[in-house]
Structure 1
Amino acid sequence: MSNRANRAPNQARVIPLRPPAGRQGTAHVADPPPAPREPLWRDLVGDVLRRERQAQERTLQDVADTARISMPYLSEVERGRKEASSEVLAAAAHALGLTLGDLLERARGELVRAAGRRAGARRTPASSSYDGLCLAA
């Protein structure tokens, strides 16, 4: 009789993805720690917008009204939940007295710093020293 016939009709079969711990004949090797998550561009841009708005002691509503975008949408952009268009980013930047270039340059600086923290000691003298940002359409 097959294994399938022995199971109840609504019983799921569990297939483990990893061998059980302490399995005979295998040495236990600690899993390497997970690599830090590379920051997303929308998170970096949102952080820059929020920091600049807070440094100016302005409310979300004030900046959203000046930029002519909705306050909930600006909040989502600041929290990195929405991937804003260049028009929205330019409007938010201008509402804060920045150019789009200023906003993107500050976000680029954040990305370079984050990449430096991730690379840490992994960087070797033979590696490239280029820390620029390339965007492709």
Structure 2
Amino acid sequence: MTNRAPNEARVIPLRPAAEPAPREPLWRDLVGDVLRRERLAQERTLKDVAEAARISMPYLSEVERGRKEASSEVLAAAAHALGLGLGDLLDRARGELIRLADRRGPARGAAPASSSHNGLCLVA
């Protein structure tokens, strides 16, 4: 006898489950990290930079934490308040993206052609 309920099917995987792909970093996280690092490196407060950029302090905090997808105008204002150009900010975020990609290793390719079952399972 089995311990299964009468209506419970036994699932037999056709192939082992693949490891989930690592999460791609979000651009807003990268840009926010750069803004926060630069602000802290300059030993400036969130309030000081927000006032200089004419951005609300809570909004700038959300941008730094990657919670808000800021417009290019807001990013330029925050960058300029820190003495950076928008291109400098984006270049630093790009460098961080490259650094993270190098640490993760080569990108995973598509599944081999012989794996045509696409993770389906047989139900017995």
TM-score (norm 2): 0.72
Task: Provide the C-alpha distance between the structure 2 equivalents of 1:66 and 1:111, rounded to a whole number of angstroms.
Answer: 27
Note the C-alpha offset of 1:30: 4.7
Q: 1:99 aligns with which of 81, 85, 89?
A: 85
Which residue in the other structure is 1:64 paired with? Answer: 50
Task: Provide the C-alpha distance between the structure 2 equivalents of 1:88 and 1:112, rounded to a whole number of angstroms.
Answer: 24
Asked if residue 39 in structure 1 is aligned to residue 25 in structure 2, the reply is yes
Which residue in the other structure is 1:10 paired with? Answer: none
Equivalence map 1:1-137=2 (5 Å)? 23=11, 26=12, 30-118=16-104, 120-121=105-106
1:57 match: secondary structure: coil
Note the C-alpha offset of 1:114: 1.7
Note the C-alpha offset of 1:121: 4.8
Please give the root-mean-square deviation of Cα atoms over the aligned residues, in Å. 2.2
| Higher RCO (CA 8 Å, separation ≥ 6 residues) | 2
Note the C-alpha offset of 1:28: 8.6
Amino acid corresponding to residue 51 of structure 2 in structure 1 = D
Task: Work out the number of aligned pairs and report it.
Answer: 101
Amino acid corresponding to residue 99 of structure 1 in structure 2 = G
Structure 1, gaps ≥5 residues long: 1-15, 124-137
Task: Provide the C-alpha distance between the structure 2 equivalents of 1:121 and 1:86, rounded to a whole number of angstroms.
Answer: 31
Task: Provide the C-alpha distance between the structure 1 equivalents of 2:97 and 2:31, rounded to a whole number of angstroms.
Answer: 10
Deviation string, structure 1 residues 70-116 (Cα, Å, up to 9, x no partner): 00000000011111111110110011010111000000111111222
Aligned residues: percent identity?
Answer: 77
TM-score (norm 1): 0.66
Task: Provide the C-alpha distance between the structure 1 equivalents of 2:17 and 2:46, rounded to a whole number of angstroms.
Answer: 43
Structure 2, gaps ≥5 residues long: 1-7, 109-124
Task: Provide the C-alpha distance between the structure 2 equivalents of 1:82 and 1:122, rounded to a whole number of angstroms.
Answer: 27
Note the C-alpha offset of 1:37: 0.5
Task: Give structure 1 regions of 4+ aligned residues with deviation exceeding 4 angstroms.
Answer: 27-30
